[in-house]
Amino acid sequence: MKLQNIAKTSLGYFPTPLIELKNLSRLLQGPRIWMKRDDLTGLALGGNKTRKLEYILAEALALNADTIITAGAAQSNHCRQTAAAAAILQLECHLVLGGEAPPALTGNLLLNKLFKSHIHWAGENRKGEDIPELAAQLERQGKKVYVVPYGGSSPLGAIAYAQALTELQTQLTVDSFSHIIFASSSGATQAGLMLGKKLLQAKSEIHGIQIDKTTTAKSTLSDFIIDLARKAAARGGLELGFSHEDLHLNPNYLGDGYGIMGNLEKKAINLVAQTEGILLDPVYTGRAMGGLIDMVRRQRFEAKDSILFWHTGGTPALFSEALTMDI
């Protein structure tokens, strides 16, 4: 089964590397652990939004947009990659960010400024609630606006991750891995990998570690992901059904809430830095890796299992206030 060809615009460098984390695997004395380096997608310090934006912004270009708007938290990696992509494509970029303007620009926020994006502080509304009003205002000024969905989690964003699994298959057969583990938040990474698995008829468990308890969707994140996988298939010309049996969304590592770094994240960031020289981020990959390490320690896997940790990026947030606490 294949998706029909869907336009994309090149924004990153693919395939991203696939490496084995030998020191970490040895230290944990569990299954072999590999890593897919989507922190190295190459767009302004990389991350999983690069793949999604290649499809989403191709649609914006096809619709002749000259202005894009998206939303996220103050340290949103999605917003930083969108701002960088807008610079490449010479689009005006507006970011609607949660919270208030902080006294100092750090991490992703600093980079957003470098890319000359227009920042709108939205207080509690960190998931794009204020976008319709801003879009209407910009349209009244004669701009042709395209809204990039929150987290890039639309059918096109999911299609990007279905294609990413096909990319992995060219490096090592997907079924070399018993489990594919990653941080799951706005949903398209997981929906796309689920779709990719179905297309390749692979057996690996697609296992998302849930990062954020709240969702933009009116439904639960689980229902949203299942629905998004179906819609992505439909966008690619295939009628496929997905159910809760296709979904492994692990809610055990939500900690004290979105963006709050606890011991789980700190320990994982330290361990991976010190065993592999690889940087994780405080919000997503630190939490997801913390979850993986905890599952290994609880003997959730068998020795014959082989785990792929999909690094989704986020490292610029290491340079935000998040790490001013002791590590």
Ligand X SMILES: *Cc1c(COP(=O)(O)O)cnc(C)c1O
Which residue ranges make up the site for ligand X (CB under 6 A)?
47-48, 77-78, 151, 153, 183-190, 281, 284-285, 312-314
Integer Cα distance of 292 and 326 in angstroms: 23
25, 76, 185, 186: the active-site residue? 76
CB of 208 to ligand X, least distance (A): 7
Task: Please report, as a single letter, which amino acid is at residue 120.
Answer: H
CB of 47 to ligand X, least distance (A): 5
CB of 189 to ligand X, least distance (A): 3
CB of 215 to ligand X, least distance (A): 10
- Pairing relation of β-strands 32-37 and 18-20? antiparallel
Of 119 and 164, nearer to ligand X (C-beta) is 164
Task: Point out the residue whose Cβ comes nearest to ligand X.
Answer: 314
Angle between helices 49-62 and 77-89 (to 10 degrees): 40
Integer Cα distance of 252 and 260 in angstroms: 15
Query: Which residues does residue 183 pair with via DSSP β-bridges, in sequence order?
Result: 209
Of 138 and 293, nearer to ligand X (C-beta) is 293
Of 135 and 194, nearer to ligand X (C-beta) is 194
Q: To which H or E segment does residue 232 belong?
A: helix 221-235
Nearest alpha-carbon partner for 230 in 219, 240, 218, 222? 240
CB of 285 to ligand X, least distance (A): 6
| 18-20, strands of its sheet edge to edge | 18-20, 32-37, 306-311, 179-184, 205-210, 248-250
Question: Are 32 and 306 spatial neighbours (Cβ–Cβ below 8 Å)?
Answer: yes
Of 285 and 306, nearer to ligand X (C-beta) is 285
CB of 98 to ligand X, least distance (A): 14
Integer Cα distance of 1 and 95 in angstroms: 37
Bond from prior residue into 102 cis (ω within 30 degrees of 0): no
Of 178 and 184, nearer to ligand X (C-beta) is 184
Cβ neighbours of residue 308 closer than 8 Å, sequence gap 6 or more: 33, 34, 35, 36, 168, 177, 179, 180, 181, 204
Q: Is 76 a catalytic residue?
A: yes
Of 8 and 78, nearer to ligand X (C-beta) is 78
Q: Which residues have a catalytic role annotated?
A: 76
